[in-house]
């Protein structure tokens, strides 16, 4: 056998060994992927299920349940209110699933707040374990300031939402102004006039207008003569 033939034979053997090794490597990778994928399951939806049903569902998927907390809820006692991981997520088998269980509706009677001061209303709510919700204000003549005028939900009802909103009397009527005419003024002059009345510009729009000097006001919102509150904001259109 010549040297060339020996080299060709050696090359063929080397190529064969390489192909076999590559095939074995790919087979091992595929096997590993299948094995890893076999240890991962899709997280089922547990929210709304009784805890006993949730345990059975998780057990069938090889998962473990752990009660992380309990909370008041309109749902029945021992119903799953929240879960982590969320439904649909990919999780590993034997992983703990944390759930929050319902303690049932919160049976607290809302105390009467109307006619009390805001501070007294806040204390009354804290005494029964309810927080104060949104506080709205309104000015009514001949009304004691800081007094609760209305409450939602009304007194005597059973609390479902963990908060009570109130409407409180203001101590003075909010100030109002008549919107001045700013069109034709320089931008700086217009802003100084607004600042003198406690108003501020919320937005400046630069508008191409060949008929007006650059930097002058060519439009305003609110318009001239409008009745505005002291905390209103103004939008100006300025000629480029």
- For 56-98, write each residue's pLDDT tens digit: 999 988 899 999 988 878 889 999 999 999 999 998 887 889 9
Q: Are 56 and 96 in the same domain?
A: yes
- Full residue range of the structural domain in which residue 233 is found: 176-239
Whether 112 is covered by a domain: the verdict is no
Whether 110 is covered by a domain: the verdict is no
pTM (2 decimals)? 0.38
pLDDT (average), residues 39-68: 92
Structural domain count of the chain? 4
Contact indicator for 162, 106 with CB cutoff of 8 Å: yes
Residue 47 DSSP symbol: T
Structure confidence at residue 236 as a pLDDT band (50, 70, 90)? very high
Q: Is the pLDDT of residue 13 over 80?
A: no
Sign of the alpha-carbon dihedral angle for 116, 117, 118, 121: negative
Q: State which H helix or E strand residue 36 sits in.
A: helix 3-38
- Any residues with CB less than 8 A from the CB of 104 and at least 6 apart, and which? 72, 73, 75, 76, 77
Nearest to 47 by CA among 16, 22, 73: 73
Whether 109 is covered by a domain: the verdict is no
Whether 113 is covered by a domain: the verdict is no
What per-residue confidence (pLDDT) applies to 136? Answer: 87
What per-residue confidence (pLDDT) applies to 72? Answer: 77
Q: Are 207 and 219 in the same domain?
A: yes
Cis peptide leading into residue 115 (ω within 30°): no
Contact indicator for 235, 191 with CB cutoff of 8 Å: no
Assign residue 155 the CATH number of its domain.
Answer: 3.30.10.20
What per-residue confidence (pLDDT) applies to 84? Answer: 93
What per-residue confidence (pLDDT) applies to 158? Answer: 78
State the average pLDDT for the chain: 84
Q: pLDDT digits over 186-215, tens only?
A: 999 999 888 887 788 888 998 887 788 989
Q: Are 206 and 217 in the same domain?
A: yes
Q: Are 124 and 97 in the same domain?
A: no
Q: Are 25 and 5 in the same domain?
A: yes
Q: Is the pLDDT of residue 35 over 60?
A: no
Q: Are 157 and 190 in the same domain?
A: no
Whether 212 is covered by a domain: the verdict is yes
């Amino acid at each position: 056998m010549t040297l060339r033939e020996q080299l060709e034979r050696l090359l063929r053997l080397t190529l064969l060994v390489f192909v076999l090794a590559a095939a074995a490597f790919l087979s091992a990778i595929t096997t590993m992927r299948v094995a890893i994928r076999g240890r991962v399951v899709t997280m089922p939806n547990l929210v709304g299920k009784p805890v006993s049903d949730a345990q059975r569902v998780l057990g069938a998927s090889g998962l473990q349940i752990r009660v992380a907390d309990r909370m008041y809820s309109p749902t029945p006692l021992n119903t799953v209110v929240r879960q982590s991981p969320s439904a649909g997520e990919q999780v590993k088998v034997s992983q703990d699933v944390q759930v929050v269980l319902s303690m049932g509706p919160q049976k607290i009677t809302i105390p009467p707040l109307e006619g009390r001061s805001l501070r007294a209303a806040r204390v009354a709510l804290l005494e029964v374990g309810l927080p104060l919700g949104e506080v709205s204000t309104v000015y009514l003549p001949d009304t004691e300031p800081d007094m609760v005028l209305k409450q939602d939900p009304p007194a005597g009802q059973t609390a479902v939402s963990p908060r009570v909103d109130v409407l409180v009397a203001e101590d003075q009527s909010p100030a109002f102004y008549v919107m001045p005419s700013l069109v034709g003024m320089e931008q700086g002059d217009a802003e100084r006039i607004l600042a003198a009345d406690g108003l501020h510009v919320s937005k400046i729009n630069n508008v191409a207008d060949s008929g007006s000097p650059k930097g002058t006001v060519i439009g305003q919102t609110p318009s001239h003569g409008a009745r505005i509150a002291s905390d209103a904001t103004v939008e100006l259109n300025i000629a480029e």
